[in-house]
Amino acid sequence: MEWGDAMSLTMDAATPSLVVNGTRIDLIERGAGRPLLFLHAENGIEPALAAIEALAKGARVIAPTHPGYGRSELPKGMRTVDDLSYFYLDLFDQLDLRDVALVGVSLGAWLAAEIAVKSTQRLAKLVMANAVGIKVGDRETRDIVDVFALTEKEFIEIAYCDPAVGTRDYKALPDAEVLAAARAREATARFAWNPYFHNPRLKSRLHRIRIPTLLLWGTHDRMLSEPYGRAYAALIPGARFEPIERAGHFPHQEQPKAFAEKVLAFVEGKWP
Amino acid sequence: MRVYQFSEQPYFPAWNEHSGTLRVTFPNRKCDPHVAADLLHRYYDEYQLTDALGLDIMVNEHHQSATCMCSTVVVGLAVLARITQRARLLVLGYPIGHRPDPLRVAEELSTIDVISRGRLDMGFIKGIPYEIAASNRNPTELMDRFWEAHDFILKAMTTHDEVFNWEGEFFHYRQVNVWPRVFQEPHPPVWSTTGSSGQARILGERGYVMATLGTGYGTRRIYDAYRKSYVAKHGKAPGADRFAYLGLVAVANDEAEARRRGDLIAGYVRTSPIVALPFRNPPGYLPAEDNARLLRGETPPRTFTRGGRIVNMQTAGIDELMDAGVLFCGTPDRVYEQIAAFCEHCGGMGNLLMMGHGGELTHAQTVDNLTLFAHEVHPRLQAFKQPDAEEAARAVAA
């Protein structure tokens, strides 16, 4: 095979998958009890596996790999997080999920908000960690660092509290995981290139989210600022803001246990 | 063989003032507009000379860059359509996937075709990765936009009797009607560029003129991919006129002066890749499989010598660039021989895109380079008998 030729994506038959509207995606299910749908961040499903296991101690976790990421197919014409949100509304219907705790990180949190503004009918609670998706500052103020103008090393330094957690040795990783990293970067660009990591329409729709909502925030995030997160929370009626220490932009990856504990406590209604 | 003279119209006075990037984030404070004005007037004077010498002309565009001051091809074409008399005007190219409005592209190019009385050659290109930063176009859908813009522009240029409607994936118009209509029937010739066999196959099917640059003695592989799909679609071999190649050209009456000129013109290949790392490969610009290999630390080979050795254009000396067929350099006899040998290697190549000015080559050197080429080399290239096209096509099939 030569450079420039596309490889066909081969699905491992052993990997659980689901077909929604003709699009096959990977989907992990762990644990039992109340359904919790986990929406991964722009860095894909692998960095979320530890958090998914930790969440599964207190819920039935359903963790799809978004279209375009990992080995999941990307339907032609799907190009916005708004498109993705309809895909997941169909998935809820297909699996007949009810009283779902919807949990997302970063791009996954943006996606969760896009779903919730359309319908909370199947949702019980919403948790958004280090969420992107809205424009807070004026037109000449960058709310979100231009990560596509950074090298991977520079990005890891601003995104993580401990850069070692985010550093990957691509030469040692299996082929599928390296390809997944490349596909994650491409899919993220597809959904978040322009407008950059936000939907200009979303802010004015957030008032429609009338279910208990928690904004979690890895305090070492230097891709987003904490004031951005607090402004986001202020736009969702009654939303609560909760920091996670010693974590950056991907708190589920850096502090999976603390992340899962906070999510489960909120979902189980243990918080006042 | 046709020969198109080309200069990137560089702002070379700032080349030594960068800190790791000459593009995208290199501040325009480094550009003195008075110096830029002198340089641009000089470059257009040199294009006028090119016209008078009987050569054709090529222009291109790059953005946010000290390597190229032509940031929109339309300005260059508009100037040239009026100040030249006979040269064909090749734009290679127009990055139509980046442009917000293909109707405007069709109107601009039609007007230029009319002013030049049918001298336009119309190259549509994807654009190099660094251009994404200027247009902010989504790199993951750039080629889909490119082909829709392409289809639209050709329909707009060839529809004469009624207005039409277009509601595509990217572009929407309700009353398309281009005035003035194109001068050449049915439309100006379409060209494009590529470095990959995959894209070459697509261009071969369409029968467009395909240009490569920097591919050196690796060019045959890409031409053969074109030949194969051209034959499959059209049932005959593509002529040499379907192929174009960008080469640096330095001619002088003595070898030493030619080498000095070659070294200055090579400033183009040495500065061109100086750009901050993240802008070199925006996500989605390459297939994910290629990006996976890049993550692994593999890099695609680009330029080869005749003996199959890989050449790094940024650091190569002029002998290496000559071995690779990137630079044709020497006395008129030697330059003719090098170009002829390269055409034989390609199995036929009918359009030399000649960078006869590049880098810090002075006006006097450029004038002499172009004049000597036009008088001593060009007539021989026009008389050059291309390799047999059918035989080249048969060699691919076998």
pLDDT at B21 over 70: yes
As a whole-number percent, the residues of chain B with pLDDT over 70 amount to 100
Structure tokens at B280: 């070199």
Q: Three-class SS of residue B161?
A: coil
Chain A interface disruption, residue of B64, B281, B295, B299, most A CBs within 10 A: B295
A170 interfaces chain B, CB cutoff of 8 Å: yes
What pLDDT sits at residue B306?
86
Among B351, B307, B125, smallest CA distance to B216 is for: B307
| CA nearest to B136 within chain A | A194
What pLDDT sits at residue A130?
98
Q: Could you say which of B136, B284, B290 has the minimum Cβ distance to residue A3?
A: B290
Q: At what angle do helices B389-397 and B219-234 cross, to 10 degrees?
A: 90
pLDDT tens, position by position, B151-173: 999 999 999 999 999 999 999 99
- Find out whether B355 and B335 touch, Cβ atoms under 8 Å: no
Q: Give CA separation, B5 vs A170, A171, B364, in Å.
A: 44, 45, 16
Cα B30 off chain centre by: 26
Q: How many C-beta neighbours within 10 Å does residue B196 have?
A: 19
B197 interfaces chain A, CB cutoff of 8 Å: yes
What pLDDT sits at residue A4?
52
The enclosing domain of B367 has a CATH number of 3.20.20.30
Among A61, A212, A199, smallest CA distance to A127 is for: A212
- Which residues from chain A sit within 8 angstroms of residue B289, using beta carbons? 5-7, 179, 182
B136 interfaces chain A, CB cutoff of 8 Å: yes
| CA nearest to A154 within chain B | B278
Domain count, chain B: 1
Q: Could you say which of A79, A179, A194 has the minimum Cβ distance to residue B136?
A: A194
Between the two ends of chain A, the Cα-to-Cα distance in Å is 59
What pLDDT sits at residue A2?
53
Distance CA B156, CA B160 (A): 8
Distance CA B251, CA B212 (A): 22
Instruction: Please name the residue that has the structure tokens 């939907």.
Output: A199
The Cα diameter of chain A in Å comes to 59
Residue B160 lies in a domain: no
pLDDT tens, position by position, B226-283: 999 999 999 999 999 999 999 999 999 999 999 999 999 999 999 999 999 899 999 9
CB contact under 8 A, A183 and B288: yes
Structure tokens at A128: 């958004």
Q: How many C-beta neighbours within 10 Å does residue B109 have?
A: 26
B364 interfaces chain A, CB cutoff of 8 Å: no
What pLDDT sits at residue B309?
87
B97 interfaces chain A, CB cutoff of 8 Å: no
CB contact under 8 A, B287 and A6: yes
- Which residues from chain B sit within 8 angstroms of residue A77, using beta carbons? 169
Residue B295 lies in a domain: yes
What pLDDT sits at residue A9?
46
CB contact under 8 A, A194 and B279: no
Residue B378 lies in a domain: yes
CB contact under 8 A, A186 and B288: yes
Q: Could you say which of A150, A170, A181 has the minimum Cβ distance to residue B278?
A: A150
Residue B159 lies in a domain: no
B138 interfaces chain A, CB cutoff of 8 Å: yes
Q: Could you say which of A3, A150, A189 has the minimum Cβ distance to residue B284?
A: A189
B283 interfaces chain A, CB cutoff of 8 Å: yes
pLDDT tens, position by position, B58-80: 999 999 999 999 999 999 999 99
CB contact under 8 A, B283 and A79: no
Structure tokens at A24: 């096959």
Chain A interface disruption, residue of B289, B290, B291, most A CBs within 10 A: B289
Residues 69-98 of chain A whose Cβ lies under 8 A from any Cβ of chain B: 77, 79
A4 interfaces chain B, CB cutoff of 8 Å: yes
CB contact under 8 A, A190 and B141: yes
A174 interfaces chain B, CB cutoff of 8 Å: no
B337 interfaces chain A, CB cutoff of 8 Å: no
CB contact under 8 A, A4 and B199: yes
- Quick one: three-class SS letters along chain A? CCCCCCCCCCCCCCCCEEEECCEEEEEEEECCCCEEEEECCCCCCHHHHHHHHHHCCCCEEEEECCCCCCCCCCCCCCCCHHHHHHHHHHHHHHHCCCCEEEEEECHHHHHHHHHHHHCCCCEEEEEEECCCECCCCCCCCCCCCCHHHCCHHHHHHHHCCCHHHHCCCCCCCCHHHHHHHHHHHHHHHHHHCCCCCECCCCHHHHHHCCCCEEEEEECCCCCCCHHHHHHHHHCCCCCEEEEECCCCCCHHHHCHHHHHHHHHHHHCCCCC
Residues 123-162 of chain A whose Cβ lies under 8 A from any Cβ of chain B: 148-151
Distance CA B76, CA B7 (A): 11
- Which residues from chain B sit within 8 angstroms of residue A171, using beta carbons? 296-297
Residue B332 lies in a domain: yes
Distance CA A2, CA B293 (A): 11
Distance CA B270, CA B305 (A): 17
Q: pLDDT band for position B314 (50/70/90)?
A: confident
Residue B163 lies in a domain: no
Residue B150 lies in a domain: no
Tell whether omega for the bond before B283 is within 30 degrees of 0, i.e. cis: no
Residue B381 lies in a domain: yes
Among B356, B348, B351, B346, smallest CA distance to B388 is for: B348
Distance CA A196, CA A137 (A): 13
pLDDT in tens, chain A (272 residues): 455 555 444 445 567 999 999 999 999 999 999 999 999 999 999 999 999 999 999 999 999 999 999 999 999 999 999 999 999 999 999 999 999 999 999 999 999 999 999 999 999 999 999 999 999 999 999 999 999 999 999 999 999 999 999 999 999 999 999 999 999 999 999 999 999 999 999 999 999 999 999 999 999 999 999 999 999 999 999 999 999 999 999 999 999 999 999 999 999 987 75
Please give the model's pTM, rounded to 2 decimal places: 0.95
Among B115, B103, B3, B117, smallest CA distance to B50 is for: B3
| CA nearest to A194 within chain B | B138
pLDDT tens, position by position, B107-133: 999 999 999 999 999 999 999 999 999
Chain B interface disruption, residue of A3, A83, A169, A185, most B CBs within 10 A: A3
A178 interfaces chain B, CB cutoff of 8 Å: yes
Among B122, B125, B120, smallest CA distance to B145 is for: B125
Cα B141 off chain centre by: 22
Distance CA B85, CA B49 (A): 11
Range of the domain at B324: 2-142+181-397
Alpha helix positions (H), B177-287:
197-206, 219-234, 255-265, 267-271
Structure tokens at B43: 């470059």
Q: pLDDT band for position B140 (50/70/90)?
A: very high
Q: What is the average pLDDT across B20-40? A: 96
A245 interfaces chain B, CB cutoff of 8 Å: no
Q: What is the average pLDDT across B319-348? A: 97
Distance CA B245, CA B386 (A): 14
| CA nearest to A8 within chain B | B289
| CA nearest to A148 within chain B | B278
In angstroms, the separation between the Cα of residue B47 and the nearest Cα of chain A is 36
- ipTM exceeds 0.90, yes or no: yes
The DSSP symbol for B239 reads: P
